[in-house]
A = this chain, B = another copy of it.
């Protein structure tokens, strides 16, 4: 494992870093740091899911009912974050676009088509092969996503 951080408090430290990077990014582009933008970043960070704009908006309304954050702001902020490569959007086949923070450790997904459960995994061998393939095809790799669809152990029992 090449993870040299302590697990303890890792999450908070990473968030502070992320937040300050974000502030700097805003400053560089003459953009303003607003509560809404912070809440959106924070909510993305605290979610282990890949969120649709709508789901994200809903989460924010639940946690911050005082802030009447509009869906339009969520869209606008997500577009901003995506342009800045802070988040990436992916699709899980079915429908719609889902967003996740790009800063988190990379992982792939096993998706149960019965119960919808998502299990994450990382495989070094696959990561290596992906880089090798991208190199061969002279492709400058930025990110990747992989999903394995099937039936999880629990659902097989049924």
Count identical subunits in the complex: 2
> Looking at the complex, which one of B89, B91, B123, B142 makes contact with A150 (CB distance below 8 Å)?
B142
State whether A148 touches B144 (Cβ < 8 A): yes
- Closest-by-CB residue of B relative to A89 is B93
State whether B133 touches A143 (Cβ < 8 A): no
> Looking at the complex, which one of B121, B130, B142, B146 makes contact with A151 (CB distance below 8 Å)?
B142
State whether B130 touches A129 (Cβ < 8 A): no
Question: How far does the alpha carbon of A151 sit from the alpha carbon of B130 in the complex, in Å?
Answer: 14
State whether B140 touches A150 (Cβ < 8 A): yes
Question: How far does the alpha carbon of A19 sit from the alpha carbon of B152 in the complex, in Å?
Answer: 31
Contact surface of A with B, Cβ cutoff 8 Å: 88-93, 95, 97, 110, 112-113, 119, 121, 123, 125-126, 129-130, 133-134, 137-153, 156
